[in-house]
Structure 1
Amino acid sequence: MNCEQSKALMLQERSEELRPTARFSLHQHLDECAACRAHYATLLSIEQHLSAEPDLSPSPFSERAILNAAILETRRRAKATPALRSFRLAGLASAAMVLLGLGFVLGHFQEEKPLLSAGSATTSEDPLRLLAFGRDAYQHQRYDRAIHRLTQYLSTGVPDDPALDYLATLTLARSYRRLGRHKEALATYDRLRRHPGSWQDQELLAQEVADCQRHFEDRLVDSDQNALPPDSRSYEQLPARIYRTGYRANH
């Protein structure tokens, strides 16, 4: 058994669909290979942290579901092409581990370490690393950095994975919203609305969009008010929203 085969078998073992003989071969390889032992330990750590993360919704595009989706894909491909499953699943296993490992293990265990500077990321960098560091920056409330990484990830166009695309776009929208860049946030939420996975999160997204829209309208109202000359700022000339918020009582 080589390392690529063992990584595919790790996901199958976590889905409890690994035969005893294959499990024995896997752990025999783990006893001999330090790199695969570290990979397996990362997988166990990810599962531990995912189990402690409450789901905001039953969305198949949540972080927890990414690992589940990898397991389901393992089952599907194993049934379709049993002879090739170890080799064909290696890429899927590696992608899930890179994203979840960097996003959660770095986030939980290395908070004291400074994040990489936004300028150090290049468009030639591994797209999954861009997504993982974008998520990590968001978790650390470095929203400018998160926007930089996630925008780079989405501009690469790879990997063509709807779940990861949804996760990146949602995190980007929330980063804009946290920074008060409501116009960009609303445009990004609009992209989410057309995403095939958004129906699962309709209620949650509607709340976030409504809050973002309210702040955006308030900013427009403030801009309109400041644009008026002092001698013409009567409540009749201002939007009804200003009138309702007490502008008339102060003039």
Structure 2
Amino acid sequence: MTEPALSVTHEAGVAEILLTRPEVLNRFDPQLHVELTETLHSLAADDSVRCIVLGSTGKAFSAGGDFALMEAAHADAAVREEIVGDAQRLLDAFVDLPQPVVVAVQGVAVGLGATVALLCDVLVASRRASLSDTHVHVGLVAGDGGCLVWPQAMGLARARRHLLTGDPLDAETAFTIGVVTDLVETPEETLPAARAVARRIAGLAPLGVQGTKRALNAGVRARADEVVPLGLSLEAETLASDDLLEGIAAFRERRDPQFAGR
């Protein structure tokens, strides 16, 4: 039997989701996509849940996508369709979630890991944390939400700089520009700090909190409908490219990639 990719606990109106595969740096494979989406749907329908904490075990929040899945997608259109569908459903689950989410980022958040963190309402990070979207490093379009959440979090100019280079955004800079809302010293402090914020939110009037989030997210929903389908379509095209295989090979071999544009 396959071990779950996450755990869920409940206490005093706060649900806590932990990604629990530190041995693979909490990378997103189909199992994690499905489990996280289903968990968000379940919590959305639970009136006893007033706030959600999202965190992970191990040194990394999430190292992003799974290379083996990308390689399978290169040769199989059905796998590409599955990836696009899973990503769309996960993004929709976050954007439409009525309860606020407080995320605890203790280490690196890469690719979809960074997107998920930036989809949350409050972002608590340690000084050792960083956010990056490295799709372009392996020949891919940042279509699974990166082109939605990075401009939303920091403005279009900064988002262009990071998405077009794949350069990381360290936690201190992210805090200075308002992307990280709460900065703590050590990775061990992130979850306790996130829980403290979640408890404060859970103690407030749920109609007021959820209505405020709904109004705040109205523009995000409209922008998601505009950006995400195009981004995912473009990412699917690059999943079929030879540049993807070259990018993955170069990463594994610790060399500079030689992209051919095909």
Same fold at TM > 0.5? no
TM-score range, shorter chain: under 0.3
- Which structure's residues are more often strand, by fraction? 2
Q: Name which structure has the greater RCO, CA cutoff 8 Å, separation 6+.
A: 2
Larger Rg: 1
